[in-house]
Amino acid sequence: MQSVAAALARLGDLAATPTVSRLANAFALAGHELALVGGPVRDAFLDRPLHDLDFTTDATPDQILALVKPLSEAQWDIGRAYGTIGASLAGETVEITTYRADSYDGTTRKPDVVFGRHLEADLLRRDFTVNAMALRLPQLTLVDPAGGIDDLLAKRLRTPSTPEVSFGDDPLRMLRAARFTGQLGFTLDLDTALAMEKMRDSIRIVSAERIGDELSKLLVSKDPRAGIEVLMESGLAEIVLPEIPGLQLEIDEHHHHKDVYQHSLTVLEQAMGYEKSRGNLEAPDLIVRLAALLHDIGKPATRKLEPGGVVSFYHHDVVGAKLAKKRLRALRFDNDTINAVARLIELHLRFFGYTEGAWTDSAVRRYVRDAGDQLERLHILTRADVTTRNRRKADRLGFAYDDLEQRIAALNEQEELGAVRPDLDGEQIMVVLGVKPGREVGEAYRYLLEQRLDDGPLGEEEATRRLTHWWAERVQ
C-alpha cells in the first residue's frame, strides 16, 4: 500500500505522459472537465501496474469524439449509447465516458441511460468505494466522495451507496465483490456481505456470459480461494457454480473420506504453484485452474458406501468430465477451453495406475497420445492432486511422477511422441491394399497407429508386412 503522497506522485507521472496530457489539455481548452477514474487511481495506491486508462467527463459522446479525433489514430463508438467513446492514442487504448446518472428497473441489468453533470454524483453510482475515486485533469486534484482511501487503507470492500441499492442496480457487482477479494486481497464489510447473501437470487438476471467472465477473472486472480469462499458463504455459488457446494459431502461416523471441497481448493492452490515453478505455461492459466477446481465434481454422483467404512467414487473422472462440459457450456465458455478442461478431468486419475506397477512403453505412449496438447497441464494437475499429509506417500507419488516424466522425455527424444503417426500414411496404405479412399483406409490407419503405440517405430517394411497380414485376415 502506497502513501497518499506516493500514490499522487505516481498519478502525476501518469498525467505527464503524452497520451494523458494531450487529452487533458484538449478537454480543458474546450471548456470540459476530464478525470482519470477507477482502476488506475485505485492501483496507484496499491502499488500495482497502472493499466486501463479510463476517463470520465461532462462532455457528451459527440463532443468526446470531436475532441479525440484529431489526437488519435483510431476511434470506436460501440459504447456510444452508454456514453463511451474509445480511441487509440500513441499506441495506447483509452476509454472516455460521459458522467452517468442512470436508473434501473430491477428486472434487467440494462439501465435507462441518463447522462450526468457532476463528477461526484457519477462516482457515487459506481460499484465499490475503492473504485469510486478520480483524479481531475489537468489540476491533479484527487476526488474521493465515498471514502475510498480509508477503505483502501483498511483493505475493505464497501459500496458507495447502500449495498442493497448498489446490488439492486447491478447484481453482477456481487460477483465482482468476490473477484476483488481474490484480486486485491480485500475483505467485505459486514453490510456488503449480508446484502450479498440476502440478494443472491437477483444474480439470475445476469447473462451467463457475464457470469462466466467474472468467474474466469476470479480464477486467474492472485488468491482465487478467497473469492470462492465468498461465493460459498453468500450462497451465490449454489446459483452460478452449484457443483462446488456439491463437493461438501456429508461424512458419517462409519464411513470416512477427505473433505472433497477443501481438497479441491488445495489442489487449485497447488496447481497455481506448479504454474510458476514449471515455467512451460503462461501463468495464470485459466484451463489449469478450472480443471483443478472441477476435477472431482463427479464424486457426489458416484459416491458409494462400501463395507468396512470405505467410500468409493468409481468413474468419477468420466462423470466429472461430462459435468464440467455441461457447466462450462452453460456459462458460455469457448469450445477449446471446455474440451481441454474436460479432457484433463477425464485423465486426472490415469497416473495413479503407474504407481501400482511399471508401465510398458506402450502405456507411456498412450498416456502422451491421450493427453495430446494438454500434457503439460496434465502434469500440473496430477502433481497438484496429491494432497495427502502422509509425507512418505506424497514422496512416493512425487518420485513416481518424476520417473514417468523422465520416461516420457526419453521416449520423446527417440520417437517424437508428440507427433506419433503410423509408419505408413493414407496414400501408402491405399497402394499396399489396392483400395480407394474410404472406410477401409481409416480402419487400416487406426490399426497401424495401435501397432505404432504398442511397439514404437516399425519402419516402412515391417509396417507393410503387418498391414498386409491384417488385411488378409480381415477379408477372409
Map out the domains of the chain with their CATH numbers.
Answer: 1-149 (3.30.460.10), 155-241 (1.10.110.30), 246-419 (1.10.3210), 426-475 (no CATH)
Q: Which of 343, 312, 198, 201 is nearest to 249 (CA)?
A: 312
Q: Compute CA distances 335 → 269, 318, 326, 366, 391, whole Å.
A: 25, 18, 11, 24, 39
As averages over each run of 10 residues, the pLDDT of the chain (476 residues) reads: 84 92 96 94 90 92 95 88 89 92 64 82 94 95 95 95 93 97 96 97 96 98 97 97 89 58 96 86 93 96 80 90 98 97 96 76 88 94 92 88 89 71 85 85 84 82 85 74
The pLDDT of residue 253 is 44
Q: Which of 397, 178, 375, 223 is nearest to 287 (CA)?
A: 375
Question: For residue 119, which amino acid is it?
Answer: L
How much is the pTM? 0.85
Q: How many helices (H) and strands (E) does the chain have?
A: 23, 11
Alpha-carbon distance of 297 to 321, in angstroms, equals 8
Write out the H or E segment, with its range, that includes residue 86.
strand 84-89
The pLDDT of residue 417 is 63
Q: Compute CA distances 228 → 88, 173, 214, 253, whole Å.
A: 36, 15, 12, 28
| CB-based contact 218:174 (threshold 8 Å) | no
The pLDDT of residue 361 is 85
Q: Which of 282, 279, 314 is nearest to 299 (CA)?
A: 314
DSSP 100: B
Q: Compute CA distances 213 → 42, 131, 391, whole Å.
A: 22, 19, 38
- In the block, cell 476509454 appears at 95
* Cell numbers found for residue 155: 483493505
Burial of 438 (0-12, 13-18, 19+ CB in 10 A): exposed
* Cell numbers found for residue 357: 506397477
Q: What residues contact residue 97 under an 8 Å CB cut-off, 6+ apart?
A: 54, 55, 56, 57, 79, 82, 83, 84, 85
Question: For residue 454, which amino acid is it?
Answer: D
| CA 390 centroid distance within chain | 31
Rg (CA), the chain: 29
Q: What residues contact residue 455 under an 8 Å CB cut-off, 6+ apart?
A: 362
pLDDT digits (tens, 9 = 90+) for 305-322: 777 667 788 899 999 999
Q: What residues contact residue 445 under an 8 Å CB cut-off, 6+ apart?
A: 422, 426, 429
Cβ-based neighbour number of residue 459 at 10 Å: 9
The pLDDT of residue 375 is 93
